[in-house]
Amino acid sequence: MTSIQNAFTQAQQLHAAGHFVEAAVHARAVLRLAPDHAVARHILGTALCASGQGEEGLGHIGAAMLLDPSQPVYAVNRAILLLSLGRRGDAAAAFHRALQLRPANSRLLDGLGSCLGDLGRNQQALVPFKHRLALEPGMAEAYRKLAIVAQRDGRLDEARRAYRRAWRLGGGDGLLVREALSLPVIPRSVAEIEESRSHCAEVLRQAREHGLRIADPMREIGVTSFFLSYHGLDDRALNSELAALYREACPSLLYTAAHCWEPARAEDRAGRRLRVGFISDYFHNHTIGMLNEGLIERLSRERFEVVLFLTPGPDDNLRRHLRMVADRAVDIPGDLDAARRIIAETRLDVLYYTDIGMSPFTYFLAFSRLAPLQCLTWGHPDTTGIPTLDCFLSCDAMEPEDGEAHYSERLIRLPGPTVRYRRPHLDEPRKTRIDFGLPAASRLYLCPQSLFKIHPDYDEALIAILRRDRDGILVFVDPRGQGAALVRRLAAKGPDVAGRIRLLPGLAAADFIALTADADVMLDPFHYSGGKTSLEALAFGTPVVTWPGAFMRGRHTLGFYKLMGLDDCVASDPADYVDRAVRLGTDPLLRAQVRQRILERCGVLFDDDTSIRAIERFFQETA
């Protein structure tokens, strides 16, 4: 007994002092002599987790729980450790178990709510957050978390009240901005869109009058106006107002690199390549990485030095390829101040943002002047309102005649698609609709875009297609578990066709392309067109029916067809959209003819250097 007690005492003391490797050694010594020692099991488990051996450690903590089920600390630590390992489903169950033993524990309620929210179970997540607020009604942070989950669940009024309450409790001025940006993810109606934009404008006005002060916009706000872009309306005024607020509230955003203060001298430029920096949060196996890979790889190295700025992200094959083809690849942290200084040290001539508005980090970074010429392109196809972004490089074929009026930046119209996209290929035999659990005899109308692109204006056309083609099914892809809200909206308007609306879960990249290739007709949403998805469908001849919107973001597919010299699938109005979709779906001969014409002409969209040469000319003439 003495040797067990000595080893146990040593294990406790070393664990308390943070010497986890040594603590584990002594805990194992105890367990060799007393395998049923629950406390030693728990010490060993937590020590292993702290030493990076999480899975083994969790096994020992689970064993301690079995040996002493009434001890709350074992259940609590297991839940917290599961969450730290990213195992949110298991963590949620563990938090439930721990709350049975400690039912009024704020940390456990907060952990359960966070897990459920991250899992997309937003209605369930509201329950522990509200329970926590009943225990601690003065906690600003709890109101902030409640607001985030309520917004995701479409409870905008509840979210706004919670953000306002958190702000009044001293949670920080950024919460007022978050209230302004509490926009619907899947809007219930056009009226909800209009109300949310009106509320956004009013709160931004209040915020500027209040004189907000924001020290760290990433921590205090951490979101963008992303969902404005899916409303089918002009965002220039709202995005400019938001940018003006940030310029006033957070002067640290207005950093200027030293070399940008100095006037350019001809002798400094003579005999050297222009230094062009590319930046995004998505330089990996993501739409943005794939769309920009060709430009980064093939920009002339005789005239340009390519510097790639990589934020923390997955180290996949695409990211490794981009590192290899760039002249320099520079890793930058997620800290704005450190990133600004690292980028400034490279003394860029041009900084090229592949997307602004999807990532809070690059959005806030763009307020700095880090190169004499700063431009962006249509990775997120909307204007920013940020004065330090000089030019928006766009595809002329996608832009409406009055496109210049939609941008705070100077619009640069380029020939070609503006991207050099590799033509996709599929291994044979390909998967077909049967492999995805879809009926072979039905005609497949596929709308595989992110569900927040499905505007309420689009609903009647989708329902009309299903009513006209009784053998048709409408298929969406729902990787984020958001589809139930959309199906409810469609079912309320077309209950007679609701049974022929299907949701597929997230698909692997090759499976996604195979599904688009097998569709009878692909449906391009109103107001926000497909980009990469349309390219992939057209590569296999799938007809994509489109009705061009008023803004470039609703005209990507139109642009591709204009470059191809085809208009078979381009509708003049919503009624014509339905007609064209149903004719293509129900007439196999017409569909085969259109497929053949697409296959004959779509080569202009892929592996094309036209846009690269145009971007090179723009850089040389402007930088």
In angstroms, how far is the first alpha carbon of the chain from the final one? Answer: 79
pLDDT in the model for residue 270 = 67
Query: Does 338 lie in the same domain as 203?
Result: no
pLDDT at 269: 66
- Rounded to 5 degrees, φ, ψ at 538 are -65, -30
Phi, psi of 268 (to 5 degrees): -70, -30
Do 589 and 453 sit in the same domain of this protein? yes
Residues 463 and 599 both lie in one domain? yes
Q: Please, are residues 358 and 380 in contact by the beta-carbon 8 Å criterion?
A: yes
Q: Which helix (H) or strand (E) holds 475?
A: strand 472-477
Same-domain check for residues 409 and 451: no
Q: Do 293 and 401 have their domain in common?
A: yes
Residue 16 lies in a domain: no
For residue 302, the model assigns a pLDDT of 95
568: Cβ contacts below 8 Å, ≥ 6 apart: 543, 580, 594, 597
> Of 220, 254, 288, which residue constitutes the final position of a domain?
254
DSSP collapsed to 3 states, 347-389 = CCCEEEECCCCCCHHHHHHCCCECCCEEEEECCCCCCCCCCCC
Asked if the bond preceding 429 is cis, omega within 30° of 0, the reply is yes
Domain boundary among 364, 388, 422: 422
Whole-angstrom Cα distance, residue 564 to residue 134?
61
18 burial via Cβ count (<10 Å: 0-12, 13-18, 19+):
exposed
Domain membership flag for residue 119: no
Verify that 402 and 444 share a domain, yes or no. Answer: no
Residue 115: what pLDDT?
92
End residue of a domain, out of 380, 397, 422? 422
Cα-Cα-Cα-Cα torsion 571, 586, 468, 527, nearest 10 degrees, comes to -30
Tokens found for residue 509:
């990249």
Query: How many structural domains comprise the chain?
Result: 3
CATH number (domain holding residue 393): 3.40.50.11380
DSSP secondary structure letter of residue 264: P
Q: What is the predicted pLDDT for the residue at 195? A: 97
Would residue 298 count as lying in a domain? yes
**216 close to 210: Cβ distance less than 8 angstroms:** no
Q: Which residues of the chain have pLDDT under 50?
A: none
Instruction: Tell me the H-state helices in 228-265.
Output: 236-249, 258-261
Residue 18 in any domain: the answer is no
Same domain flag for 319 and 206: no
Q: pLDDT at position 264, please? A: 64
443 and 413, same domain (yes or no): no
Look up the pTM and report it.
Answer: 0.91
The sheet carrying 501-504 orders its strands as 501-504, 472-477, 443-447, 521-523, 544-545
Element at 545 (helix H, strand E): strand 544-545
> Which residues span the domain enclosing 456?
433-605
CATH (domain of 594): 3.40.50.2000
DSSP reduced 3-state for 414: strand
* The pLDDT of residue 77: 86
In a domain, 311, yes or no: yes
Residues 338 and 463 grouped into a single domain: no
Query: Does residue 294 belong to any structural domain of this protein?
Result: yes
Here the tokens at position 179 are 């209230």
* Whether residues 311 and 363 fall in one domain: yes
Q: Does residue 157 sit in the same domain as residue 285?
A: no
Distance, in Å, from the CA atom of 431 to the CA atom of 447, rounded to the nearest integer, reads 18
In this prediction, residue 267 carries a pLDDT of: 54
Burial of 495 (0-12, 13-18, 19+ CB in 10 A): exposed
Please report whether residue 384 resides in a domain. Answer: yes
Q: Judge if 402 and 525 occupy the same domain.
A: no
In a domain, 560, yes or no: yes
Amino acid at 332: I
C-alpha span between 548 and 532 (Å, rounded): 16
Distance CA(118)–CA(149), nearest Å, equals 9
CB 467 within 8 A of CB 438: no
